[in-house]
Amino acid sequence: MLEELEKIEHGALETLSRVGDDAALEAWRVTTLGRSSPLMQVFDRLGSLAKEERPLIGRRANEVKRNLESRLAELSEALRTQALARALQTERLDITLPGRSLAPGRLHPSTQILRRIYAIFAEMGFQVYRSREVESDENNFELLNMPQHHPARDMWDTFHTLAPGVLLRTHTSPGQILVMREQAPNPIRVILPGMCYRYEQISARKEIQFNQVEGLAVGENITFGDLKGTLTDFARRMFTPDVRTRFRASHFPFTEPSAEMDIECFLCQGKGCNVCSGTGWLEILGCGMVHPTVLRNGGYDPERFTGYAFGMGPERIAMLRYRIDDIRYFWANDIRFLEQF
């Protein structure tokens, strides 16, 4: 069997010396080192040899195998080097050709709408105030006039964390408490943009995360008329100068009185269509006068100070402005959608 191993090794090396490309080298590897090759069959027959012959034959078979594998690796590297050298000689790079220009990036539609909102309220004298996305139950609910087990909490499907009393904010309203406690007793006029999270069924109209822009103004002698004038002017700047608006009575625990603001449907001009569900109006935000309890929790005396607050969804406004029919497009990262903006 030692003579058989010598013949196998000698024949394999002689064949290898005539290999000149990768295809022939792979064929050699299969024939010489493959599972059905003569060399591998020697390993299969070791069990039938006499006990005293097995170590000698096994050792020599392993030596042949290692030698052939080594020569295989050397020739493979040599062929790769030769192929690279040929490529460098034949595949010339024309450095005089103009480069390929990169496609310009675009702002996400949510970012575009947010920046437009910032600009409009900046012209009205509002400043941007950032607040945290991970909030305490106290700021998110209790200090906004929603104590523990209050039924109004059911309006917000909340993501709670493992830490007791810590959650992902369901709205930007907790920022009202933070900014009031920082600024009291000075007047305030701020907008509070940011991401909010709610545990909801994802659909064409709802997402588990969304942007929101909160507005807050606190001072002496602020009235509902100031709120109405501010938001009506905002709608005219955001949509069209002649857009019609209306306010409907509503309820929010942290404002009293509360309202929702609609704009006239821009598709049917108030006649009624599928987009506005036949009403002729489209809701864009909720608002109201800051509840005295919230003012007191923020450090202001409700006997002296009043204020208004409002909250709007930029994605909702973008859907109305650009006639987008599915909110999920904003988070799908579909380049076909994003390139339209």
Residues 116 and 83 in one domain: no
Q: Answer yes or no: is 230 within a domain.
A: yes
Q: Are residues 78 and 214 in the same domain?
A: no
Residues 125 and 272 in one domain: yes
CB 314 within 8 A of CB 113: yes
Highest mean pLDDT among 59-63, 95-99, 153-157, 309-313: 309-313
**Mean pLDDT estimate for the chain:** 87
Q: What is the reported pLDDT for 275?
A: 62
Q: Report which secondary-structure segment, H or E, holds 189.
A: strand 188-197
What crossing angle do the helices spanning 109-123 and 224-238 adopt, rounded to 10°? Answer: 130
User: Mean pLDDT throughout 102-106?
Assistant: 80
CATH of the domain at 199: 3.30.930.10
Q: Is the pLDDT of residue 1 over 70?
A: no
Residues 215 and 292 in one domain: yes
Q: Where are the alpha helices (DSSP H) in the chain?
A: 2-16, 22-33, 38-44, 54-90, 109-123, 137-140, 174-183, 224-238, 292-297, 314-322, 335-338
Same domain, 52 and 195: no
pLDDT (tens digit, 9 = 90+) per residue, 225-282? 999 999 999 999 998 898 889 999 999 999 999 999 998 877 677 777 766 777 888 8
Residue 98 maps to a domain: no
Do 193 and 139 reside in the same domain of the chain? yes
Phi-psi region of 265 (alpha: psi -120 to 50; beta: other; left: phi over 0): beta
User: What is the predicted pLDDT for the residue at 265?
Assistant: 78
9 domain residue, yes or no: yes
Residue 72 domain-assigned?
yes
Lowest mean pLDDT among 1-5, 111-115, 178-182, 294-298: 1-5
Domain stop point among 90, 124, 156:
90
Residue 170 belongs to domain spanning: 109-338
The Cα 254–Cα 272 span in angstroms is 32
Please check whether residue 162 lies inside any domain of the structure. yes
Is this model's pTM higher than 0.75 or not?
Answer: no
Number of domains in the chain: 2
Q: What is the DSSP letter of 103?
A: P
> Is 242 a member of any domain?
yes
> Do 72 and 115 belong to one domain?
no
Query: Residue 190: what pLDDT?
Result: 97
Which segment of 28-32, 120-124, 168-172, 299-303 scores lowest on mean pLDDT?
28-32
In this structure, are 86 and 143 located in the same domain? no
Edge-to-edge strand list for the sheet holding 255-264: 127-128, 188-197, 209-219, 306-312, 281-290, 255-264, 245-252
State how far the Cα of 216 lies from the Cα of 196, in Å rounded to an integer. Answer: 17
Is 96 within the bounds of a domain?
A: no
CB contact at 8 A, 208 and 202 = yes
14 and 152 share a domain?
A: no
Based on the domain organization, do 85 and 114 belong to the same domain?
no
Give the C-alpha separation, 178 to 189, whole Å.
13
User: Looking at 47-61, 149-163, 181-195, which range is the least confident one?
Assistant: 47-61
Give the pLDDT confidence score for residue 188 in this predicted structure.
95
Q: Is residue 104 part of a domain?
A: no
Average pLDDT over residues 326-337: 84
More confident residue, 51 or 290: 290
pLDDT digit string, tens, across residues 129-171: 999 999 999 999 999 988 888 787 777 788 899 999 999 999 9
Are both 184 and 283 inside the same structural domain?
A: yes
In 10 A of CB 259, how many CB atoms?
A: 23
Same structural domain, 114 and 170: yes
Pick the more confident residue, 66 or 120. 120
